[in-house]
Amino acid sequence: MTVNARSTVLHLGLIAILIVLGLVLPTYHQGNLARILVLATYAIGFNVLFGYTGLLSLGHAMFFAAGMYGCGLAMHLADWSVLPALGMGLASAAALSLVVAVLALRTIGVAFMIVTLMFAQAFFLAALYLGEWTGGDEGFVIAQARRQLAGFALTEPLTRFFAALTVFSVALLLTAWLMQMPFGRILIGVRENEERTRMLGYDVFRHKLLAVVISGTISGGAGAAYAVLFGYVGATFASVQYSIFPLLWVLLGGMGTTIGPLIGAAFMFYLIDYASGLTNAYLLIVGAALVLLTLFARAGIVGEIRKRWVPWLP
């Protein structure tokens, strides 16, 4: 079997397992998994830029929140139905990421991290400032009755799970395909050695720009899906915390791996879930687990598996 065929089997197999899990899991875990899938979609978007292109953005929450507000406000204020509102969320995130890319990509390295962080803070503060519409840090709830798609109630747990799985699968297969294409290979080239890539005749700036836009749009898609599926939109999702989460998920799962974002998001979600059941000081346990992982599995869970046993993992 070729590497491409193997990765197709891996991705479709993973989706099949998730379908089965969705059908057999109790409602509590089904709801958790739906949330994890949407957050993993966000991490997949982040991974396009961080894991594959080698650009560390510390402001991705603004893209997630742009999708969330774009979609949520369209439904909340303008009474749009789900599908056009999702489109609005994607368009908002794409537009914002294009503007941020053009400005932030004038910098590199640490300066790029700081500039993205500052843009995200500006976005966060703007969301608070425009509280009249956004509800500020209290946010707003999207009415249950509006969260219907083609006759299906997205508030119903199983429907919501499959909607989340659909969003995740599209992002997973899209990025996996993209990284097999010449475009994705060139992004990896930029990550590994930018100057070499330029001197092979590739327009590095254009590739980085597209990477930011693709990454931001996928992240925004996750934000829009979050608004529709869980019915809440708030400024917390634009805060710096939500810029750090995808970084942790991707680092834990394995940067530059296709399934790492899901593994990382799931691991962290259940780690917090489990630890907070044991003690109020659950962040201590989470922190210790993160330290151990960075010490002994520096490439992340999937990254380490790839390094040690399964070199073809995409």
**Minimum distance of other proteins from residue 249's CB (angstroms):** 22
Sign of CA dihedral 106, 108, 110, 113: positive
Stretch that binds other proteins, among 53-61, 84-92, 100-108, 194-202 (CB under 8 A): 194-202
Q: Which CB sits closer to other proteins, 132 or 195?
A: 195
**Minimum distance of other proteins from residue 309's CB (angstroms):** 16
* Per CB under 8 A, 3 contacts other proteins: no
* Per CB under 8 A, 203 contacts other proteins: yes
Q: Which CB sits closer to other proteins, 199 or 292?
A: 199
**Count of residues near other proteins by CB under 8 A:** 17
Tell me the two tokens of residue 99: 């503007």
* Per CB under 8 A, 193 contacts other proteins: yes
**Minimum distance of other proteins from residue 203's CB (angstroms):** 5
Q: Which CB sits closer to other proteins, 151 or 201?
A: 201
Q: Which of residues 172-191 bind other proteins (CB under 8 A)?
A: 182, 185-186, 188-189
* Per CB under 8 A, 108 contacts other proteins: no
Query: How far lies 192's CA from each of 188, 196, 255, 274, in Å?
Result: 6, 9, 13, 37
Would you say 221 and 84 are in contact if contact means Cβ atoms under 8 Å apart? no
**Minimum distance of other proteins from residue 216's CB (angstroms):** 24
* Per CB under 8 A, 199 contacts other proteins: yes
Instruction: Report the residue count for the chain.
Output: 314
Site for other proteins (CB under 8 A): which residue of 195, 278, 280, 309? Answer: 195
Integer Cα distance of 118 and 148 in angstroms: 36
At 78, the amino acid letter reads A
Question: Which is nearest to 77 in space by CA: 235, 236, 233, 239?
Answer: 233
Query: How far lies 25's CA from each of 5, 34, 120, 274, in Å?
Result: 30, 11, 37, 17
* Per CB under 8 A, 257 contacts other proteins: no
Residue 179 CB partners (closer than 8 Å, separation 6+) = 52, 185, 187, 188, 258, 314
Q: Which CB sits closer to other proteins, 57 or 197?
A: 197
Integer Cα distance of 141 and 55 in angstroms: 34
Q: Which CB sits closer to other proteins, 200 or 283?
A: 200
Integer Cα distance of 192 and 213 in angstroms: 20
**Minimum distance of other proteins from residue 104's CB (angstroms):** 20
Question: Which is nearest to 51 in space by CA: 42, 43, 59, 63?
Answer: 43
* Per CB under 8 A, 79 contacts other proteins: no
Site for other proteins (CB under 8 A): which residue of 29, 146, 198, 307? Answer: 198
Residues within the interface to other proteins (CB under 8 A): 182, 185-186, 188-189, 192-193, 195-204
